[in-house]
Chains A and B, each alone.
Chain A
Amino acid sequence: MIDITPSHYMVLSATLFMIGVIGVMVRRNIIIIFMSIELMLNAVNVNLVAFSHQWQHVTGQVFALFVIAVAAAEAAVGLGIILAFYRNKETVNIDEMNVMRW
């Protein structure tokens, strides 16, 4: 338990990922759902960097860098969609975003 092995980082990453999944499933506020998705992406990054550290090769960190770039792009477009939706129907509750036209 004193030596920190990649298994420790895998458990941390898995728990963080599942906390994100629970956030997506339980919460109805769409902004919190987006933030839970960011938590999931972060968990994956932790895993990648842990393995990069184990093998002493920077490929894992480069992959994590691309994950951050994709997360930025997805956040920008996703929040644009939320704002456009909010402008039409004044809600951020996904249980109310279930009709194609009203």
Chain B
Amino acid sequence: MGEAIVFYGLSALILGFAVMVISTRDTVHSVLFLVVNFLLVAMLYVLLGAEFLAVIQVLVYAGGILVLYLFVVMLVNLKRPPETYQDPRRQTRLGLALSGAVLAEFVAIGVYGYTSPEGLPAVAAQAVEGGNVEQVGWVLYTNYLIPFEVASILLLVAMIGAIVLAQRDV
């Protein structure tokens, strides 16, 4: 009962702030609504028992990536409003109609078409006692060690790329 109230409340707020993200004229306000959205999604993760991921979401997504977005918004401080020119070939209403159709399809699948498969596919059983952090750590460093290392190389490449791209040609 309490879980239902929290879930419906959080969902309403998440979707409400998401709509405000894509519909606000002022870019800075848009980024701030997205920050609130991510904090609410972190609360949803806590509801789902994924505490480590919730704190990582706040730390990395809301506290790192969006600060970067806010910085770029402030550096790109335009004198004229950014969205005055529109390409005449743009078909906004058709796009909205198609999105509505795809959304209806997704909701139909989610509500009517979802049946749980029989049993869990063969994954290694929980090999370590302890809370959420210990289990995530165990699985991350034993079963998924190679993706972990590849992700670290990806971040290194992204770091180098971002520095090279944003450099001034001195």
Contacts and interface: CB of A to CB of B under 8 A. Distances in A.
- A and B directly contacting (CB within 8 A): yes
Interface of A: 1-4, 6-8, 10-12, 14-23, 25-29, 31-32, 34-36, 38-39, 42, 45-46, 49-50, 52-55, 57-59, 61-62, 64-66, 68-77, 79-84, 86-87, 90-93, 95-96, 98
Given A18-B103, A31-B27, A75-B68, A23 B22 contact: yes
Contact of A11 (B48, B84, B107, B147): B107
Nearest to B126: A57
Contacts, number: 219
B170 interface: no
A77 B162 CA distance: 5
Nearest to A74: B158
A67 B153 CA distance: 15
Contact of A49 (B50, B61, B90): B50
Contact of A26 (B65, B73, B92, B143): B92
A8 B7 contact: yes
